[in-house]
Amino acid sequence: MKKKKETFEEKKERVRSLLKIFTREYPGTKTALQYGNPFQLLVGVILSAQCTDARVNLVTPLLFTRFATPFDFAHADIKELETLIYSTGFYHNKAKNIIACSKVLMEKHHGVVPQTMEELHALPGVGRKTANVVLGDAFGKIEGVVVDTHVTRLANRLGLTKEQDAVKIEKELMSLIPKKYWFKFSHALILHGRKICSARKPLCAQCSVNKFCPSSLV
């Protein structure tokens, strides 16, 4: 017998159940990236594209010793910067974006990281994911849902979306999740994706939300 299609309200109810479990299992909402100020977080998130937070955390201590401020990065030698961030991958584009971003911060924002989605999103190399992380972690402002590879994978496996485009996924999740939980839910999905629901071998038998997951192998 063909399974009845889940209604929007039923999906919202299932999300409420997921939230209760995730809130208990992952009470923290902070990024794993190590940073000392909003600008360092901004650089760290740019570096984290297609790279683990753990790898970025190995790179940034030396990086921020050599270049400490937007002014320093704006005037950095790109070859030296590429060498310092080489192990994070895609270092040509990342170095170019960090320097360009730092120049705009100096020229338009007096070297201060802005606190609005519109201004952050306008910075070179800064998409909605990066802007959401900076706003949420550095400033406690919730403007959207952080959508990275983990969130994309788990949102699909949990049947919350069928989209692969980050902007479309974010829009769907924002419609399902109460705004006050947007940031918490995305962080929980990221942590759950690392710990349990990996890309290659999800540990469904150990998953705390398997009974609410249409993709569960249990």
**pLDDT for residue 1:** 45
Query: Half-sphere exposure (CA, 13 Å, Cβ side) for 34?
Result: 11
Q: Is 148 a catalytic residue?
A: yes
Please provide the DSSP assignment of 134-185 as one string: IIIIIH----S----HHHHHHHHHTTS----SHHHHHHHHHHHS-GGGHHHH
The pTM of this model reads: 0.91
From the candidates 94, 137, 148, 184, which is the catalytic residue? 148
Within the chain, residue ranges assigned H as helices are 8-25, 38-47, 53-66, 70-74, 78-85, 91-109, 117-121, 128-133, 139, 149-157, 166-176, 182-195
Amino acid at 71: F
In Å, how far from its chain's centre is CA 99?
21
From the candidates 20, 96, 108, 129, which is the catalytic residue? 129
What's the Cα-to-Cα distance from 93 to each of 45, 76, 140, 144, rounded to whole Å?
14, 15, 29, 25
**pLDDT for residue 214:** 95
Closest-CA residue to 41 (of 148, 134, 115): 134
**pLDDT for residue 2:** 52
**CA–CA separation, 152 and 140 (whole Å):** 23
pLDDT digit string, tens, across residues 55-90? 999 999 999 999 999 999 999 999 999 999 999 999
Residues in CB range of 142: below 8 A, 6 or more apart: 135, 136, 179, 180, 182, 183
pLDDT digit string, tens, across residues 138-164? 999 999 999 999 999 999 999 999 999
**pLDDT for residue 3:** 67
* DSSP 8-state secondary structure symbol assigned to residue 95: H
pLDDT digit string, tens, across residues 10-22? 999 999 999 999 9
- Residue 197 token pair: 């629901």
Is residue 190 pLDDT above 80, yes or no?
A: yes
Cβ distance 170 to 147 under 8 Å? Answer: yes
Helices and strands counted in the chain (H then E): 12, 0
**CA–CA separation, 63 and 81 (whole Å):** 8
Q: Is 96 a catalytic residue?
A: no
In Å, how far from its chain's centre is CA 164?
15
